A = this chain, B = another copy of it.
Amino acid sequence: MIGRLNHVAIAVPDLKAAAAQYRDTLGASVGAPQDEPEHGVTVVFIELPNTKIELLYPLGEGSPIAGFLEKNPGGGIHHICYEVDDIHAARDRLAAEGARVLGGGEPKIGAHGKPVLFLHPKDFNGCLIELEQV
C-alpha cells in the first residue's frame, strides 16, 4: 500500500537558521520559505536526490506544530509522509486493521494540494505518519 517516502518534516525553532544550516553547513538544495496560512506553518523545502525534507515553523494562531515546539523547544522530527495511490482505500484498510486515523477519518487537502490523512502516533511506534495521495 505505501509507496515512496514523500518527505520527513522537521519542526524547527528558528527557520532562517535551520535553512541556512542545511544550505551552508550540510550543502543541500534549500528553497525559499513558503507561508501556508491554511496549514498554520511556514515551510522550507530541502530537495534531496530521492526525497524531501520539510522544515516547519509555526505561522499564525493555533499552528498545529506550536504544541510540538513547546514540548520540544530545540525542534525535532514532527512526522514522516508516505505516498499512497488511493487515500480512501488506504483509510478503509487502516480502519479495518484498527488503526486510528486522526481528524475523523476524512482526507483533507494537505500542504502540497493533495489529499492527506494523519495516523495516530500511538498506533505506529510513536511516529506521526502522514499519508498523501499522489
Binding site for B on A (CB under 8 A): 1-5, 8, 10-13, 18, 21, 24-28, 48-51, 53, 55, 72, 74-77, 80, 82, 93-94, 97, 99, 121-122, 124-127
Contacts and interface: CB of A to CB of B under 8 A. Distances in A.
Contacts of A124: 21
Contacts of A24: 97
Nearest to A6: B50
Contact of A2 (B10, B12, B48): B48
A77 B80 contact: yes
Given A77-B77, A125-B12, A127-B77, A27 B2 contact: yes
Nearest to A52: B5
A72 to B, nearest CB: 6
B125 A48 contact: no
Contacts of A25: 93-94, 97, 99
